């Protein structure tokens, strides 16, 4: 059994769906960079606030969430369907373990729709897959949710082209929700230690600078407050932690055109 990012993330979040190999590597990383757990919780909270904002304020009713992770309530469909019971959600993850929990992901409202697809975003033509096209109407706006996913893509994976390929077929008025780890606030080399420890276990982690993360949003209109450290994106209460404890950027942006 080798460690896997989805189960390690579950460990950081205080879940119970991990194996000993995940715990050992997660504990090693926590020793190198104790803020990982705080960052994971802040990231999950950003996903909740972004989803709620899109459903409540922007009227979004369709969500494509790639890199879903092991279910941790509330999951994206629970947040979206609490605002709009008719919201439709497609989850995608390439970790076979996640599908074992897909039941929990698909227990949505009767009037909405939730479905789950096991696929690798690097190689699968997601927007042509019937799991996606049967659940989502691609002629209408979709929120593409890439939350804590793209830092698992190396530059060789061509991450910007990947996001472009996903966004291009989406209708005007669609949204990109993205969070991404950074080493911008790291003064003691913890982020580099994390990157190399993950790398030694076959898991790519590519922290990117603010300018590099901003590139994912090229051609889109960022909602206020723009691209910010995750806990500063429309916080429910005033952020008290230093940015280095969060260490990821987050933004939500709209694809131009279409009616509002
Ligand atoms: C850190 S978790 C994020 C979970 C959730 N999006 C959140 O932010 O709470 C990253 C997830 O991305 C998935 N993942 C990594 N590489 C992937 C790929 N190439 N295709 C699809 N999913 C991938 C992992 O299996 C993991 O579940």
176: its two tokens: 């990109």
For 38, how many CA atoms within 13 A lie in the half-sphere containing its CB?
15
186/105: higher pLDDT = 186
Q: Which helix (H) or strand (E) holds 176?
A: strand 175-181
- Burial of 54 from C-beta contacts in 10 A (0-12 / 13-18 / 19+): buried
Question: What's the CA dihedral at 8, 13, 231, 159 to 10 degrees?
Answer: 30
Distance 146 CA to ligand 1 centre (A): 8
Is the model's pLDDT at 187 over the cut of 70?
A: yes
For residue 91, what pLDDT is reported? 94
Please compute the mean of the pLDDT values over residues 204-228 and round it to a whole number.
97
Ligand 1: which atom is nearest the Cα of residue 8?
1
Contact 117, 128 (CB under 8 A): no
29: its two tokens: 């990383």
Please compute the mean of the pLDDT values over residues 37-59 and round it to a whole number.
97
Q: Whose CA is nearest to atom 20 of ligand 1?
A: 120
**Distance (Å, whole) CA 41 – CA 37:** 6
The model's confidence at residue 260, banded by pLDDT at 50, 70 and 90, is: low
Distance 259 CA to ligand 1 centre (A): 32
Instruction: Please give the mean pLDDT across all residues of the chain.
Output: 93
Domains and CATH numbers, the chain: 5-254 (3.40.50.150)
Distance 121 CA to ligand 1 centre (A): 10
For ligand 1, residues with CB inside 6 Å are 5-6, 9, 43-44, 47, 66-69, 92-95, 98, 120-122, 147-149, 152
Distance 260 CA to ligand 1 centre (A): 30
- Measured at the CA of 23, the angle between CA 21 and CA 24, to 5 degrees, comes to 65
Number of H helices, E strands in the chain: 11, 8
Is the model's pLDDT at 259 over the cut of 70?
A: no
For residue 35, what pLDDT is reported? 87
Torsions phi, psi for 204 (to 5 deg): -75, 130
For residue 127, what pLDDT is reported? 96
Ligand 1: which atom is nearest the Cα of residue 145?
6
Distance 76 CA to ligand 1 centre (A): 14
């Amino acid at each position: 059994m080798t460690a896997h990012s989805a189960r390690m993330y579950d460990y950081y979040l205080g879940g119970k769906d991990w194996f000993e190999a995940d715990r050992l590597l997660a504990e090693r990383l926590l020793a190198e960079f104790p803020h990982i757990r705080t960052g994971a919780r802040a990231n999950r909270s950003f996903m909740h606030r972004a989803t709620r904002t899109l459903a409540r304020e922007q009227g979004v009713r369709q969500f494509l969430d790639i890199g879903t992770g092991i279910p941790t309530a509330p999951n994206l469909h629970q947040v979206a369907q609490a605002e709009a019971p008719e919201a439709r959600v497609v989850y995608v993850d390439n970790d076979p373990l996640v599908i074992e929990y897909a039941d929990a992901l698909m227990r949505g409202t009767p009037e909405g729709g939730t479905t789950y697809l096991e696929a690798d975003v690097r190689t699968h033509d997601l927007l042509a897959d019937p799991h996606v096209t049967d659940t989502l109407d691609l002629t209408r706006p979709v929120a593409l949710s890439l939350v804590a996913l793209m830092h698992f893509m190396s530059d060789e994976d061509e991450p910007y082209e990947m996001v472009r390929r996903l966004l291009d077929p989406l209708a005007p008025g669609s949204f990109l929700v993205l969070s991404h780890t950074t080493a911008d606030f790291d003064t003691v080399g913890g982020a580099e230690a994390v990157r190399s420890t993950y790398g030694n276990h076959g898991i790519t982690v590519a922290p990117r600078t603010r300018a590099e993360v901003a590139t994912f949003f090229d051609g889109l209109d960022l909602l206020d407050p723009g691209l910010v450290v995750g806990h500063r994106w429309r916080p429910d209460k005033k952020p008290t932690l230093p940015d280095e404890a969060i260490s990821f950027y987050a933004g939500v942006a709209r694809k131009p055109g279409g009616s509002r």
